[in-house]
Amino acid sequence: MPDIPFVVRYRTMNRMAARDFLRGHQRQRLTLLNWGQRMKRIGSFAVLAWCLVFLLLVVGGCASNMSRPETILDTPELYVSNGYKLIKTNKYEDAEREFSKALKLDPKNSEAFAGTALAMGHKGEQEAALASMKRSASFAKDNQQEYKVQVGWIRLHSVLREPGWIKKAETAYSWARSIAGQLPDAYYYMGIAYKHECRIEEAKTAFLRVLEINDGLVPEARNELFVLKRMASARPISGFGKGLVAKERVTRADVAALFLHELKLREVLKKEAPGPHLAAASDIASHPQKKIIEEILALKIKGLMVYADGTFEPDQVVTRAAFAVMLADIISRAEKDPAMIARYAESGSPFWDVKSDAPYLGAVLVCTAWGGETEVENEMFNPMGVLAGYDAVLFIQKIRDKLAK
C-alpha cells in the first residue's frame, strides 16, 4: 500500500474527526431536544394537575361556605324584609315562605310571626292568622318590637274585618301611639282602617299626621289622601254602592250588582228589544249574587257575559280597561249610537299607557269623555290597573247624571 502524504492524511483525519464531532453534536442535540420535549410534557401535566388541585380547593371552599347556616344573604332580617315586600305585591304564599325561612333561623322572631299573620289573613285563614299574631306579641322583646306588634294588629284587623274589628284596631292604635307617637306607621295603617269604614275625616287626619312626621310612608299617605278625595266625591244612591266605595278590588259580581243598583240598568236599556236567550253560567249556582248576575247576563253587556267555557267567573277582579269596555257598550246602546266607540277611537290615544291600536281605546275615550279623568295625571289611564270601588261608583254617578239629561 503506497504511502499517503502527510498533508492528505491530516486533511482526511480532520474530515473524519469533524464528521464524528458533528455526529456526536447532533446526537447530543437530539438528546437535549427529547429531554426538553419530555420536560415540556411533564410541565404541562404538572400545570394541569395544579389547576385541578386549585379547582378542587375552590369548589370545596364554596361547598363549605354553602353549608354554613347563616351568611350575609341568609339572615332573619332579610327574609322578613322580603316577606313584607311580597305582601305589598299581593304574593301571599311567597311572603309566607320568606317568613318561614326567617323563623327557621330565629324561631322567636316577633316580626316574622306578625308577617306570617298578615299573609294568612290576606288568604282568609282567620284563626291561624290571629294565632300567629298572638305569638308575635309573646316574643316582643322591647318597646320597638312592641310598637311593631301593635301596628301588626291594626293591619291584621283591617284585613280580617271580623266583628268589632275597628274597635280592636283603635285599641292597638292607642297603644302604639303611647309607645312611639313620633313614628308614622300606626297613623298610616289606622288611616287605612278608617278608610275601609268610610270614616273619611278620621282617615284624612291620620294621613295628614304622616305628612307632618315626614319620616316614611309620605308618598303612600299622599296617594291615600287623593283616594279619600275621590271617595268623598262619590255619591252612591244605594246601600250596595255605599259599601263598595271603600273596596279596593271590584269583582265581576260587584260590577253586575253596581249596574243594577247604581246605574239602574233595567231603565237605561228598557227600550231595547230582548235578544235570544243565552245559556246560564255554570259557576254561579251557589253565589250570593246569582239572581243579579242572571239579570245582567240577559242584558248581554259586552265584557260582562259568559266566557267561552261556560263560566262567568264572578269573583274575578275587574281591570279599568275591562270596566271601560262594559260602560262604553251601555252608553252607546243607551244613546242609540252603535258607531260611537269606533268614532272615538279614530282620534288616537291621548294617554301614554294606552296604545292607539289597543282594542279598548275607543271604550276608554268614551268613558273618559262621559265620566271624566280617573288619575292624578291626565296623560295616564292605567288600563291594566285594578278597578277600585270609589272609581267605579264615581264613573257610574257621572254617567248616570249625563244619561238622565
At 14, which amino acid appears?
N
User: How far is Cα of residue 398 from the mean position of the Cα atoms in its chain?
Assistant: 31
Please tell me if the domain spanning 50-139 has the same topology as the one spanning 163-233: yes
Domain boundaries defined on the chain: 50-139, 163-233, 239-404
* Rounded average pLDDT per 10-residue block, the chain, 405 residues: 41 47 50 48 48 49 46 86 96 98 98 99 98 98 98 98 98 98 98 96 98 98 95 92 93 97 91 69 96 94 96 98 97 96 96 95 94 62 94 92 86
Joined together, the cell numbers standing for residue 242 give 255605599
Biggest alpha carbon–alpha carbon distance for the chain: 149
* Residue 10, φ and ψ in degrees, nearest 5: -65, -45
pTM of the predicted model, to two decimals? 0.75
**What CATH superfamily classification does 163-233 receive?**
Tetratricopeptide repeat domain (1.25.40.10)
3-state secondary structure of 251: strand
CATH superfamily label, 50-139: Tetratricopeptide repeat domain (1.25.40.10)
| pLDDT score, position 33 | 46
Closest CA to 378 of 348, 346, 351: 351
Beta strands in 23-142 (DSSP E): none
Report whether 374 contacts 365 (CB < 8 A).
no
